[in-house]
Chains A and B, each alone.
Chain A
Amino acid sequence: MNGMLEAVPESDSSPRGAPGSLVGPRPLFEDLYRSSRDDLYAYVAGLLRDRVAAEDVTALAFERAFRKWDKFDPKRGSARGWLFGIARNAALDELRKRKREVPAIEPGGLDAPGSVAGTAGQCSASIEERVVALEQRAALMTALGVLSPADREMVAMKFFAGLNNVEIAEATGYSPTNVGTRLGRAMTRLRSALGSAEEVAR
């Protein structure tokens, strides 16, 4: 396992500057971890909508990736795509488990105060702006909760984790074209859900 910590120069040309985004030399696991930790958590939390389960699955995904790091082949795809594939399996297993159990967390579990980005850093904003932001966020989370896991997964990978279509394809096994189609469909449904939620709010 120590081999994975060897300093191997990495060509980092991904849009987000994440190591291993492109096929190339093997990145360091720790670099991959640092660049992907928050993205991975965001994706898993967006899919599961459960903070505690998201922490579990994120940690588990990194542990599995660490154990399998020797088997990772850069020729077969990017490290991020590989890592998100592992996380996806773990998250889907968590969803499977939930189907067998009584749901412990209500939908919207991520909607608690301080659970989303930007909430803590808006002290300088006006109260009205903060209220607006919170209302918008609440509406968005409600709409996300209405989406199917398949749609939510696409949205979470694209907008929470910041993966491009190729990386999403690597993680899910779909073709990049199919990813684009699915993503478009998911966004359409999200808009629809968002519209419905606001109609109800009025």
Chain B
Amino acid sequence: MSHRIEPESADLARALQEARPVPEPEFTERLDQAVADHFPPEWADEAALGKDGKGGIGTLSERFRRWLAGNRTVIPALAGTVGVLFVVAVVATNVSDHPNGDSDSGSNAPTDMAKRTVGAASGGITTADSASSGVATEPPKNVVRAGVRLGPESYSSTDSAALNFYDLAMAKNLKSQMRGRDVAKEAEITLGTDPEGVQDVANEVVSVTDDHHGIVMKSNVTDGVAGKAGATFSLLVPAREIESAVADLSGIADLRSRSQELIDITAPTNRAEDDIADSKAKIKSLLGELETTYDEDDRANLERRIRWERNEKRWAENRLNRLERRADFTPVDLKVETGRDSVSDDGSSSWGLGDAFDDAGKLLGVAAGVTVLALAVAIPIGIVILIALALNRAWVRRSRRRVLADDE
């Protein structure tokens, strides 16, 4: 008796259809339930499918997605953690901008978001005081280091005692750091007053400058309404009196901002002195040669070189003189403003809505900076991940084709 399937007949197709694999009822029951429940996160576990054990089917990302869907608190927790880290980063950034930390704590006023930048290559020191709020506070306790450029710093005061304390402390620090160095100074002061007081303030500026043996190089006083009225001064104050002069000038009216810069000119001064010494030595040597030279051409050549060296020496001396003048006299740019931020109606200054907007703007700026930094890190990583995903996708497609092709 033959039981063979006739290969040439339609029996083969029928036999194949009859041999069609059918799923076990237990499996279909579990799968039906999973579909009815819309594949809940735990379905793979409950179904206990496959030889890989609980939930062990699918790619890594599918298993992770199931796990994530089954642990719904993870996403809010992660989001919260990221949010907290973001806030900490913003706050930390501000704290690092304010190493003194307590510059404004005395008045309970919100921190005036000021920045301190470090630029060691500049070889100078700048300190700046912003007094937009005009609230009396403790002066900053920062230690000023030579060779470090310090940007605008939060510090506000109408209390001249506090201001003088700060000046003295700062001057002491600077002196200790700059001892033995040649230093050129610069200062900028902005004062605020009401339009009627501009002329009085201007007179007082001239008077204080005279008291400190300074010179008013240029001045301009403008009358008008608040915001338009004001004055500008270009002063030259002897360096030895600059600290007291700046303190006195700052006390004339409401101090809005102040910055002082120390520029270390030791290197150019030394260079100029060395150049002068070199030129002198060369000239002396050339003169010696000239005494023993009788050839006309050689003498003419030597005289030309001596003239050249004398010119060099003169230039170096001029350079040195300029540097010395620069060290002896300090230019002070003083501006008198009217309008916003001037003394308030009741005669006292307090932190107000404008300051709140300023602070909010600065805070948002820091937040934006942190965000940009985060993006600067995240975007390249994201690009690398995308490339890796694309390569993986191509590799998977190729592997699938090869699974079939290998055995063909």
Contact = CB atoms under 8 A, between A and B. Distances in A.
A92 B407 contact: no
A55 B27 contact: yes
Nearest to A197: B4
B89 interface: no
Given A56-B50, A117-B21, A96 B16 contact: no
Nearest to B51: A52
B379 interface: no
B16 A148 contact: no
A135 B52 CA distance: 33
Interface in A147-181: 148-151, 153, 155, 159-160, 162
B20 A66 contact: no
Interface string B31-55: 1001110110001100101111000
Contact of A194 (B7, B49, B407, B408): B7
A159 B16 contact: yes
B383 interface: no
Given A55-B27, A117-B21, A135 B408 contact: no
B230 to A, nearest CB: 65
Nearest to B14: A159
A56 B400 contact: no
Contact of A140 (B15, B22, B47): B15
B21 A45 contact: yes
Interface in B46-77: 47, 49-52, 57-59, 62
B159 to A, nearest CB: 67
A87 interface: no
Contacts of A159: 13, 16-17, 20
Among A45, A93, A115, A159, the one with the most B-chain Cβ atoms within 10 Å of its Cβ is A159
Interface of B: 3-5, 7-8, 12-13, 15-24, 27-28, 31, 34-36, 38-39, 43-44, 47, 49-52, 57-59, 62, 396, 399-400, 403-405, 407-408
A116 B15 contact: no
Contacts of A81: none
A38 B28 CA distance: 9
28 contacts: A30-B35, A30-B36, A42-B21, A46-B21, A52-B51, A54-B23, A55-B24, A55-B27, A59-B31, A59-B49, A59-B50, A60-B57, A62-B35, A63-B34, A64-B58, A104-B51, A116-B22, A137-B18, A139-B4, A140-B15, A140-B16, A148-B404, A150-B407, A150-B408, A159-B13, A160-B17, A160-B20, A192-B7
Contact of B12 (A42, A66, A191): A191
B170 to A, nearest CB: 66
A99 interface: yes
Interface in A44-93: 45-46, 51-56, 58-60, 62-64, 66-67, 89, 92-93
A191 B35 CA distance: 39
Interface secondary structure of A, over-half rule: helix
A85 B264 CA distance: 75
B21 A149 contact: no
B5 A59 contact: no
Contacts of B17: 159-160, 162
A63 B24 CA distance: 19
A54 to B, nearest CB: 7
B23 A191 contact: no
A138 B295 CA distance: 124
A9 interface: no
A117 B22 contact: yes
A148 B18 contact: no
A137 B3 CA distance: 10
Nearest to A29: B35
Contacts of B27: 41, 55, 58-59
Contact of B51 (A53, A136, A192): A53
